[in-house]
Structure 1
Amino acid sequence: MIETPHSSETDALDPRLAFDNRAHWVRMQTLARLRWIAVLGQVISVIVACGALGLDLETGLIVAAIGAAVITNLMATMAFPENRRLSETELAATLAFDMVQLWTLLLLTGGLHNPFALFVLAQVAIAALALSARRTFVLCAVAIVLWTALVFVHLPLTTHSGEVMQLPPVFVLGFWVAIVIAILFQGAYAHRVTSELTAMSDALTATQMALSREQKLTDLGGVVAAAAHELGTPLATIVLVASEMIEDAPDEDTRADAQLVRDQAERCRVILRGMGQAGKQDEHIKVVPLVAVVEEAADPHKDRGIDVVIETIAHDSTSQPSIARRPDVIHGLRNLVQNAVDFAAAEVLIEVSWSADEVAIRISDDGPGYPPEALPRLGDPFLRKRREGAVGANRQGYEGMGLGLFIAKTLLERSRAELAFANGRDGGAVVHAAWRRSDISVATDRAPLGENRATT
């Protein structure tokens, strides 16, 4: 089990989409240009080998192998538009063709006695960067099999005088071992690094989406509150006029209509007053007590069958700090609270403490806690491991990918918080977020803030 909120961000950015669909990012035109460069290099190499080095090569077969690459490239260029992006199967087939074409040239020119045998690493690198792990493994296995065959099957490199140019057997064996190790190492680590970069990029995108959503909700609350404030006066006037009409009504029908107008106007006032409780673009409520921000973050999760308890602890005589109502702090804390509620058995405890130097928030639950092996990696996006049976029946379909914790950690660290994840002594998960008081606290003994600004 890895605790992480199941939010819309995790639904929108499935890591399988990030990792398995990278082949669709590669344009066919890019591979076509690389193949033209390879063909040019192969032609120059043959010319130099035959002319400058005096090697006796099977030029007819070599030209046929190079011509196959040329014809394939021309067909692809003419048949498809420049912006065509390859599917994973198409990209794997293209790389396999290039690998076989290079292997054929090496077969005709000395096998592993030819130093250009190292160029197989180009196809391995592209596969590791753009293909899924399974297809990358298949291409690496094909490369190892083909290059192993070159040790035993190849045409020797001979000069026009009949001299055979070859390496000592021990050097050939060492060259083969080096190529195999390079294929495995480059394939595995290039794929791993690219996957981590892709995951981090997608997770950062999700973080920006979460922050943007929270900011829009905050702005919308300001618009609603401003509307409630502005409409309050005309609705009060309507209620007053309707009351006078009731008193002066000449008959029962007129009195009933006036009563209806007053009741509906009063109802509008109640609705707008309730909508305005979300907050308005008021200079005074941009800065609120620390506990108020924690309560706002925890409020959506108080009705989910788990007791959410908030306690305050003052370590000295200093007063409770006031902080800015920042969307990133609220959303980050909300993710942590949601994570705790998702895995709690009965209670989530939020301890808000402060001193003259530090402000801290400790969120703990009475659930199964973090698996010890996952603790060093908490806060990384797209963690997949979960303890079997850790998720209860009320959490069917829960996707624990670590994205929620990553978003919370990233957003809170923007406010200069330091986060620590641990397991409690009596079980359950614990998240501790701490700030230097000077980094998050906002002084309230300042000059008047002025008129409220109208929200447009």
Structure 2
Amino acid sequence: MRSPLEWFSNIESPTLRREGEIRTHSLILLRWFAVFGQLIAIGVVTFGLNFPIELYPCLILISILAISNLWMGISTSQTNRMSNYHTARLLAFDMIQLTALFYYTGGLENPFSLTILVPVTIAATLLSRGATVMLTVLALFCATFMAFYHEPLPWQGSLLDIHTGRVSILYIVGLWVALALAILLMALYLWSLTEEARKTSEALQQTESALAREQKISALGGLAASAAHELGTPLSTISLIAKELMNDLPDDSPYFEDVELLVSQSLRCRDILAKLSVQPEHIGGESFEELTLSHMVEQAMQDHVPPHITSKFIFDENSIGAEPIVYPSPELLQGLGNFYSNAGQFAQNIIETHFSWDENGYRLIIEDDGPGFPATVIEKIGQPYISTRTGEDGHMGLGLFIAITLLERVQAHVRIQNKLPNGARVEILFPVNNKNDEDITNV
């Protein structure tokens, strides 16, 4: 049997954010912009202006950038985030590629050498102090190298106009284009990062609010169970004495009805306290005891799956050992509840929950027979405010974001995809030993 960890050996939840992380999708777009910008610039200089240029080395360098970006897009999920270390390493690679390209096109004499500022700007905005210092030193080294070591600037004639003594107007236009592109690129990119950070911050606040509500309800359930336990003994004493008084009083006593009412109300109180102590989770709290995995899932499903939808549990016969015992924390119940709520809204007839476990951890798979996620949505799952219903009935696409974020709090790893021929599939891994979590990489 395949270990549950094997299914997730290349998974890292998309919403896990550490210092300096940047969304992979943003870096891929930025690097494709650089690829096409470099190709256009080389094409205009070579074929439009007929300037002499080392064409083949330049095309090889641009191809290296394009291939590395293509590989990154294939090997990683674009909704995931790159760590501080990997982002710094990638930006250093891009800076060296730019320096090599400018070596063949005039070095610092090339007006587009200003674009060497872009990787440094990204580092200063997003990365740690150490990474920023490293990239700044590298940028200074590259600038110094380009100042002294480079091929001649592709040009025909002299940069200076012999009649006016000024720099050629063509060079001024090139410098203006380079400066405008650098300004627009950095402004748009930094604005997009700020907007993404704002949405993420708002979504995280919603997550904290949902967790706080769940914890308050849980605390209320605990208080009710504690009160039921503490009040049980004195209430039993009151009920016993009331019954003895009712037995001692004659039927025509003016106090008989009062004592009879006292007995009936004490019995009612006993029933209420019994319900609170036995089933506190039915008012929204947790059961205050460890549960088997399937019973915990049943508890999380309560009030989230419509009555007309059939819920089916399927256990993997190859699972090793007894069914896991888990503690139904508020994060776990709320996170799973959000997934079942989403499945219940789109399922046609059935929701299946698959269970498997071994010595390394346990795995849940939630499948429904609904239409599944649209392609435009599934690529961005895990980001806040992503939904096919955004703006309708107050839906802001926060359900899955909150669910993933809450499950990450209990060290779970989540993968969401469509299943064939139709329907959605959510895989959740709960590792028993989380010491190797930092070694988990993206797909």
TM range (shorter): 0.5 to 0.7
1:325 alignment counterpart: 328
Q: 1:318 to 1:346 in 2, by over 3 A?
A: same
1:293 alignment counterpart: 296
Matches within 5 A, 1:381-420: 381-385=384-388, 397-420=392-415
Query: Which letter does structure 2 place at the counterpart of 1:217?
Result: I
2:172 alignment counterpart: 172
Per-residue CA deviation, residues 157-178 of structure 1 (Å, 9 max, x unaligned), is xxxxxx9885421122123322
Which structure has the greater CA radius of gyration?
A: 1
**2:383 aligned with 1:380:** yes
CA contact (8 A) 2:313 2:353 kept: yes
2:224 alignment counterpart: 224
Q: 1:186 to 1:357 in 2, by over 3 A?
A: closer
1:309 alignment counterpart: 312
Find the aligned partners of 1:168 and 1:384 in 2 and give their Cα distance: 53
Offset at residue 302 of structure 1 (A): 3.9
TM-score by length of 2: 0.56
RMSD: 3.2
**2:237 aligned with 1:254:** no
Find the aligned partners of 2:250 and 2:206 in 1 and give their Cα distance: 64
Query: Which letter does structure 1 place at the counterpart of 2:424?
Result: A
Q: 1:209 to 1:166 in 2, by over 3 A?
A: farther
CA contact (8 A) 2:214 2:330 kept: yes
Q: 1:316 to 1:308 in 2, by over 3 A?
A: closer
Per-residue CA deviation, residues 71-115 of structure 1 (Å, 9 max, x unaligned), is xxxxxxxxxxxxxxxxxxxxxxxxxxxxxxxxxxxxxxxxxxxx9
Q: 1:375 to 1:302 in 2, by over 3 A?
A: closer
CA contact (8 A) 2:412 2:430 kept: yes
Find the aligned partners of 2:423 and 2:393 in 1 and give their Cα distance: 18
Matches within 5 A, 1:232-247: 232-247=232-247
Structure 2 residue matching 1:360: 3-state secondary structure: strand
1:138 alignment counterpart: none
Aligned residue pairs: how many?
A: 273
Matches within 5 A, 1:107-146: none
TM-score by length of 1: 0.54
Structure 1 residue matching 2:342: 3-state secondary structure: helix
Percent of pairs identical after alignment?
Answer: 36
Offset at residue 266 of structure 1 (A): 0.8
Find the aligned partners of 1:302 and 1:230 in 2 and give their Cα distance: 35
Find the aligned partners of 2:256 and 2:363 in 1 and give their Cα distance: 60
Find the aligned partners of 1:374 and 1:316 in 2 and give their Cα distance: 33
CA contact (8 A) 1:379 1:402 kept: no
Offset at residue 304 of structure 1 (A): 4.8
CA contact (8 A) 1:287 1:323 kept: yes
Per-residue CA deviation, residues 248-303 of structure 1 (Å, 9 max, x unaligned), is 113434222111111111111111222231169xx994422112221111012245
1:206 alignment counterpart: 206
Find the aligned partners of 2:235 and 2:339 in 1 and give their Cα distance: 41
Find the aligned partners of 1:300 and 1:335 in 2 and give their Cα distance: 11
Structure 2 residue matching 1:402: 3-state secondary structure: coil
Q: Which of residues 348, 355, 359 is equivalent to 1:356? A: 359
Structure 1 residue runs of 5 or longer lacking an equivalent are 1-114, 119-124, 130-162, 388-395, 441-456
Offset at residue 372 of structure 1 (A): 2.4
CA contact (8 A) 1:288 1:325 kept: yes
CA contact (8 A) 2:306 2:344 kept: no
Find the aligned partners of 2:222 and 2:377 in 1 and give their Cα distance: 41
Q: 1:237 to 1:164 in 2, by over 3 A?
A: farther
2:368 alignment counterpart: 365
Query: Which letter does structure 1 place at the counterpart of 2:310?
Result: D
Find the aligned partners of 1:259 and 1:166 in 2 and give their Cα distance: 111
Structure 2 residue matching 1:332: 3-state secondary structure: helix
Matches within 5 A, 1:11-50: none
Structure 2 residue runs of 5 or longer lacking an equivalent are 1-110, 115-120, 126-162, 436-443
Find the aligned partners of 1:192 and 1:226 in 2 and give their Cα distance: 51
Query: Which letter does structure 1 place at the counterpart of 2:237?
Result: T
Per-residue CA deviation, residues 8-52 of structure 1 (Å, 9 max, x unaligned), is xxxxxxxxxxxxxxxxxxxxxxxxxxxxxxxxxxxxxxxxxxxxx
Offset at residue 311 of structure 1 (A): 3.5
Query: Which letter does structure 2 place at the counterpart of 1:264?
Result: Q
Offset at residue 221 of structure 1 (A): 0.7
Q: 1:367 to 1:214 in 2, by over 3 A?
A: same
1:278 alignment counterpart: 280
2:265 alignment counterpart: 264
2:35 alignment counterpart: none
**2:430 aligned with 1:435:** yes
